[in-house]
Amino acid sequence: MTRADTGTRGVTVRVPAKVNVQLAVGAARPDGFHDLANVFLAVGLYDEVTAAPADELTITCSGPDAAQVPLDRGNLAARAALALAERYGIEPAVHLHIAKDIPVAGGMAGGSADGAAALLACDALWSTGASREELLEICAELGSDVPFSLIGGAALGTGRGELLTPVATGGTFHWVFALADGGLSTPVVFGEFDRLTAGTDLPVPAAAPALLDALASGDPAALAKTLSNDLQAAALSLRPSLAATLAAGTGAGALGALVSGSGPTTAFLVPDESTARRVAAALTASGTCRTARTALSPAAGATVV
Ligand code: C5P
């Protein structure tokens, strides 16, 4: 089914990608998750999920990376529809179409975004009357990054990343994202983090005050100095070629660079739109990435369109 077919009826939700401007990772917990101080920033690369009445739960996906998206009940969009239907005693008779523009398995929460978008779209389609808190609760059950995809903007995630406190931002930040060939698995990257940090005493993760100040001031140079990702060494260990991508972007004029989440997408903070275009062109020409995209942050969370 094409996007136009589903777009004529049903509910469509637009949902942003994210970058972590700080990802502080603590020791593994008994439940296998890691305590985090995760400063999320929603960025203006979007997926759209359309929920339309159907005989049974089905999923389709369109977009350049559509072939890599699982269309079974393991997809977070399907899991979101099933969780909402179960909670409200509704038959999950819905077709979900994902128009995918967020890189797949790239560390930009594309799967989580689709979960949040499907939840909001089904909620509107079925008129469940669920409160925002109930939707956030279901999001947290679906995955650590899913609640942030619902709220968007900028937020500090603690616990395993699902406990959110909104964070102030003072203006628009310009980004370039270098997309890599193939994805990286989040659990594998956390496993590599465990291997690399074995035997070390990890501090309790906490948001850096200088980073929160930089976000609030809207000063990209200040934010660039404070960008940090504790998963970066693990992502680089698994994908050493990312070092060349980071060097290409900073060499072309980015103020700061880091691996986005668990990677392999790399993120470059730039001062303005013309630098964004220049850095994106240089990254593409460098041959160190598949392609480069520019985007603005913060972006609004999941929204019915
Ligand atoms: O919560 P989510 O399903 O997105 O997590 C995927 C995997 O990433 C988890 O199974 C776990 O291996 C790892 N993870 C973690 N600590 C977190 C979040 C995720 O170890 N705070």
Neighbours of 187 (CB within 10 A): 9
Q: Per-residue pLDDT tens for 231-242?
A: 999 999 999 999
Residues (pLDDT < 70) of the chain are 1-8
Show the tokens assigned to 282. 């240089």
> Which residue out of 114, 123, 145, 230 is catalytically annotated?
145
Q: What is the pLDDT of residue 77?
A: 98
Atom 11 of ligand 1, nearest CA residue: 187
Q: What is the pLDDT of residue 9?
A: 78
DSSP 127: T
Q: Which is the closest atom of ligand 1 to the Cα of 143?
A: 1
Query: Which residues line the pocket of ligand 1, CB cutoff 6 A?
Result: 32-34, 36, 143-145, 160-161, 186-187, 190
- Whether this model's pTM surpasses 0.85: yes
Ramachandran bin of 117, using left for φ above 0, alpha for ψ from -120 to 50, beta for the remaining angles: alpha
Q: Which is the closest atom of ligand 1 to the Cα of 161?
A: 21
Per the listing, tokens 């469509």 go with: 12
> Which residue out of 5, 18, 47, 194 is catalytically annotated?
18
